[in-house]
Protein backbone atom coordinates (compact mmCIF):
# COMPACT_ATOMS: atom_id res chain seq x y z
CA UNK A 1 0.00 0.00 0.00
CA UNK A 2 1.41 3.40 -0.93
CA UNK A 3 2.11 5.89 1.82
CA UNK A 4 0.94 9.50 1.72
CA UNK A 5 2.20 12.50 3.69
CA UNK A 6 0.51 15.83 4.09
CA UNK A 7 -0.13 18.52 6.64
CA UNK A 8 -3.59 18.51 8.14
CA UNK A 9 -4.66 21.39 10.37
CA UNK A 10 -1.04 22.33 10.84
CA UNK A 11 0.18 18.87 11.81
CA UNK A 12 2.32 16.63 9.62
CA UNK A 13 0.60 13.29 9.07
CA UNK A 14 1.40 10.10 7.19
CA UNK A 15 -0.68 7.09 6.38
CA UNK A 16 -0.85 3.97 4.24
CA UNK A 17 -3.69 4.18 1.79
CA UNK A 18 -4.97 2.32 -1.24
CA UNK A 19 -4.76 4.16 -4.55
CA UNK A 20 -8.56 4.46 -4.52
CA UNK A 21 -8.84 5.87 -1.00
CA UNK A 22 -10.61 9.22 -1.07
CA UNK A 23 -9.30 12.15 0.93
CA UNK A 24 -12.53 12.20 2.93
CA UNK A 25 -11.98 8.57 3.92
CA UNK A 26 -8.36 9.28 4.89
CA UNK A 27 -9.48 12.20 7.06
CA UNK A 28 -12.39 10.37 8.69
CA UNK A 29 -10.94 6.89 9.11
CA UNK A 30 -7.15 7.23 9.27
CA UNK A 31 -7.00 10.55 11.08
CA UNK A 32 -10.32 10.23 12.96
CA UNK A 33 -11.26 13.76 11.90
CA UNK A 34 -14.96 13.06 11.51
CA UNK A 35 -16.08 16.68 11.10
CA UNK A 36 -15.86 16.35 7.31
CA UNK A 37 -18.96 14.45 6.19
CA UNK A 38 -20.11 12.32 3.26
CA UNK A 39 -23.64 13.15 2.10
CA UNK A 40 -23.77 11.97 -1.49
CA UNK A 41 -21.87 10.00 -4.09
CA UNK A 42 -21.87 12.42 -7.02
CA UNK A 43 -20.08 15.42 -5.57
CA UNK A 44 -23.24 17.54 -5.32
CA UNK A 45 -23.91 18.03 -1.63
CA UNK A 46 -20.77 19.76 -0.38
CA UNK A 47 -20.77 18.17 3.09
CA UNK A 48 -17.17 17.15 2.42
CA UNK A 49 -15.67 20.55 1.57
CA UNK A 50 -12.19 21.14 2.99
CA UNK A 51 -9.40 23.51 1.99
CA UNK A 52 -6.37 22.16 0.15
CA UNK A 53 -3.59 24.72 0.00
CA UNK A 54 -6.16 27.37 0.79
CA UNK A 55 -8.67 26.42 -1.90
CA UNK A 56 -12.09 24.86 -1.19
CA UNK A 57 -12.18 21.32 -2.55
CA UNK A 58 -14.60 18.45 -2.27
CA UNK A 59 -12.79 15.75 -0.32
CA UNK A 60 -15.12 13.09 -1.74
CA UNK A 61 -13.78 13.72 -5.23
CA UNK A 62 -10.11 13.92 -4.30
CA UNK A 63 -7.86 10.94 -3.81
CA UNK A 64 -5.73 10.90 -0.69
CA UNK A 65 -2.63 10.32 -2.79
CA UNK A 66 -3.39 13.47 -4.78
CA UNK A 67 -2.83 15.43 -1.58
CA UNK A 68 0.76 14.36 -1.12
CA UNK A 69 2.70 17.32 0.27
CA UNK A 70 -0.31 19.62 0.51
CA UNK A 71 -1.70 21.63 3.42
CA UNK A 72 -5.21 20.52 4.23
CA UNK A 73 -7.54 22.41 6.55
CA UNK A 74 -10.71 20.85 7.86
CA UNK A 75 -13.47 22.28 10.04
CA UNK A 76 -11.54 21.06 13.06
CA UNK A 77 -8.65 23.33 12.10
CA UNK A 78 -10.52 26.62 12.08
CA UNK A 79 -10.22 27.40 15.75
CA UNK A 80 -7.49 26.59 18.28
CA UNK A 81 -8.54 23.99 20.85
CA UNK A 82 -10.01 25.98 23.77
CA UNK A 83 -9.53 29.12 21.72
CA UNK A 84 -12.10 31.51 20.29
CA UNK A 85 -14.22 30.39 17.38
CA UNK A 86 -13.61 31.66 13.88
CA UNK A 87 -15.96 34.57 13.11
CA UNK A 88 -17.66 32.51 10.40
CA UNK A 89 -18.39 29.76 12.92
CA UNK A 90 -19.76 32.34 15.35
CA UNK A 91 -21.92 33.83 12.61
CA UNK A 92 -23.54 30.45 11.91
CA UNK A 93 -24.49 30.13 15.56
CA UNK A 94 -25.60 33.73 15.93
CA UNK A 95 -27.86 33.60 12.87
CA UNK A 96 -29.17 30.05 13.34
CA UNK A 97 -27.53 28.97 10.10
CA UNK A 98 -27.73 25.30 11.04
CA UNK A 99 -30.27 22.81 12.35
CA UNK A 100 -29.07 19.20 12.16
CA UNK A 101 -25.50 20.32 11.59
CA UNK A 102 -24.60 17.71 8.99
CA UNK A 103 -24.04 20.10 6.06
CA UNK A 104 -22.53 22.73 8.36
CA UNK A 105 -18.80 21.96 8.24
CA UNK A 106 -18.89 21.95 4.44
CA UNK A 107 -21.00 25.13 4.42
CA UNK A 108 -18.56 26.95 6.66
CA UNK A 109 -15.53 25.84 4.66
CA UNK A 110 -17.28 26.82 1.41
CA UNK A 111 -18.29 30.17 2.93
CA UNK A 112 -14.68 30.97 3.74
CA UNK A 113 -13.78 30.29 0.14
CA UNK A 114 -16.52 32.65 -1.06
CA UNK A 115 -14.95 35.35 1.09
CA UNK A 116 -11.53 34.54 -0.29
CA UNK A 117 -12.76 34.95 -3.86
CA UNK A 118 -15.46 37.61 -3.52
CA UNK A 119 -14.45 39.64 -0.51
CA UNK A 120 -16.13 40.61 2.72
CA UNK A 121 -19.09 42.57 1.42
CA UNK A 122 -21.30 39.79 0.03
CA UNK A 123 -24.85 40.41 -1.18
CA UNK A 124 -27.64 37.86 -1.00
CA UNK A 125 -27.62 37.08 -4.71
CA UNK A 126 -23.89 36.38 -4.75
CA UNK A 127 -24.05 34.12 -1.73
CA UNK A 128 -26.96 32.14 -3.13
CA UNK A 129 -25.24 31.66 -6.48
CA UNK A 130 -21.95 30.71 -4.84
CA UNK A 131 -23.61 28.04 -2.70
CA UNK A 132 -24.50 25.97 -5.76
CA UNK A 133 -22.19 23.23 -4.53
CA UNK A 134 -23.63 22.98 -1.01
CA UNK A 135 -26.98 21.41 -0.22
CA UNK A 136 -28.90 21.89 3.01
CA UNK A 137 -32.21 20.12 3.57
CA UNK A 138 -33.03 21.66 6.96
CA UNK A 139 -32.70 25.43 6.86
CA UNK A 140 -34.05 26.49 3.48
CA UNK A 141 -30.80 28.53 3.25
CA UNK A 142 -32.43 31.72 4.54
CA UNK A 143 -30.33 31.87 7.70
CA UNK A 144 -27.24 30.38 6.05
CA UNK A 145 -27.22 33.36 3.68
CA UNK A 146 -27.53 35.75 6.62
CA UNK A 147 -24.80 33.94 8.52
CA UNK A 148 -22.36 34.04 5.63
CA UNK A 149 -22.94 37.73 5.00
CA UNK A 150 -22.41 38.47 8.68
CA UNK A 151 -19.41 36.17 8.99
CA UNK A 152 -17.79 37.79 5.97
CA UNK A 153 -18.22 41.24 7.48
CA UNK A 154 -16.87 40.08 10.83
CA UNK A 155 -13.80 38.64 9.13
CA UNK A 156 -13.06 42.06 7.65
CA UNK A 157 -12.86 43.42 11.18
CA UNK A 158 -9.95 41.03 11.64
CA UNK A 159 -11.44 39.17 14.57
CA UNK A 160 -9.69 35.80 14.31
CA UNK A 161 -7.18 34.22 12.01
CA UNK A 162 -8.19 33.23 8.49
CA UNK A 163 -8.80 29.61 7.63
CA UNK A 164 -6.02 29.01 5.13
CA UNK A 165 -2.38 28.26 5.85
Partner 1 sequence: MSATGIGAAVRRKEDFRFITGKGQYTDDVVRPGETRAVFVRSPHAHAKIKSIDISAAKSLPGVVAVLTGAELASDKIGNLICGWMIHSKDGTPMKMAPHPALASGKVNCVGDAVAVVIGETLAQARDAAEKVKVDYEVLPSVIDPAKAKSGPQIHEIAPKNTIYEWHLGDAKATDAAFAAAKHVTKLDIINNRLVPNAVEPRAALAEYDAGTDGLTLWNTSQNPHVARLVIAAFVGMAPEHKLRVIAPDVGGGFGSKIFIYPEEVVCLWAARKVQRPVKWTADRSESFLTDAHGRDHVTHAELALDANGKILALRAKTIANLGAYMSTFSSSVPTYLYATLLSGQYDIPHIYCEVDAVYTNTAPVDAYRGAGRPEATFVVERLVEVAARQLDMDPADLRKRNFIKSFPHQTPVIMAYDAGDYNASLKKALELADVKGFNKRRREAARHGKLRGLGYSTYIEACGLAPSQAAGSLGAGVGLWESAEVRVNPTGSVEVLTGCHAHGQGHETTFAQLVSERLGIPFENVSIVHGDTDKVQFGMGTYGSRSGAVGMTAIVKALDKIEAKAKKVAAFMLEAAEGDIEFKDGKFTVAGTDKSAAFGDVALNAYIAHKFTGAELEPGLKETSFYDPTNFTFPAGCHICEVEVDSDTGKTDIVNWTAVDDFGTVINPMIVEGQVHGGIAQGIGQALLERAVYDKDGQLLTCSMMDYTMPRAHDLPSFQIGLTETKSPSNPLGIKGCGEAGAIASPAAVINAITDAIGTEELAMPATANAVWSALKRAQPRRAA
Q: Which residues bind to partner 1, rule: CB under 8 A?
A: 18, 20-21, 25, 28, 32-42, 44-45, 47, 74-76, 78-79, 85, 89, 92-94, 96, 98-105, 108, 124, 127-129, 131-132, 134-145
> What is the smallest separation between the CB atom of 20 and partner 1, expressed in angstroms?
7
Report the distance separating Cα 56 and Cα 64, nearest Å.
15
Residue 41 or 69: which CB sits closer to partner 1?
A: 41
Cα distances (Å, whole numbers) of residue 128 to 26, 62, 134, 144: 31, 25, 10, 9
Q: Check if the beta carbon of residue 94 is closer than 8 Å to that of residue 125.
A: no
Looking at beta carbons only, is 141 or 161 nearer to partner 1?
141
Residue closer to partner 1 by CB (options 22, 69) is: 22
Look at strands 71-73 and 55-58 and give their pairing. Answer: unpaired
Distance of CA 97 to the CA centre of its chain: 15
Of residues 49, 47, 156, 52, the one with CA closest to residue 98: 47
Q: How far is CA 23 from CA 12, 31, 53, in A?
A: 15, 11, 14
CB of 98 to partner 1, least distance (A): 6
> C-beta of 72: minimal distance to partner 1 in Å?
13
User: Judged by CB, which is closer to partner 1: 71, or 102?
Assistant: 102
Nearer to partner 1, 6 or 17 (CB): 17
Nearest distance in Å: CB 123, partner 1: 12
Beta carbon of residue 94, minimum distance to partner 1 (angstroms, whole number)? 6
Strand order in the sheet with 55-58: 11-16, 3-8, 71-73, 49-52, 55-58
Amino acid sequence: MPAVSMTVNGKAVTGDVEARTLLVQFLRENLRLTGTHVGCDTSQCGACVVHIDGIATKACTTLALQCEGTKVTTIEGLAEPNGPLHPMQEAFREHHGLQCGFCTPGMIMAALDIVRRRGNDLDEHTIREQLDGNICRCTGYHNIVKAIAAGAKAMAKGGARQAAE
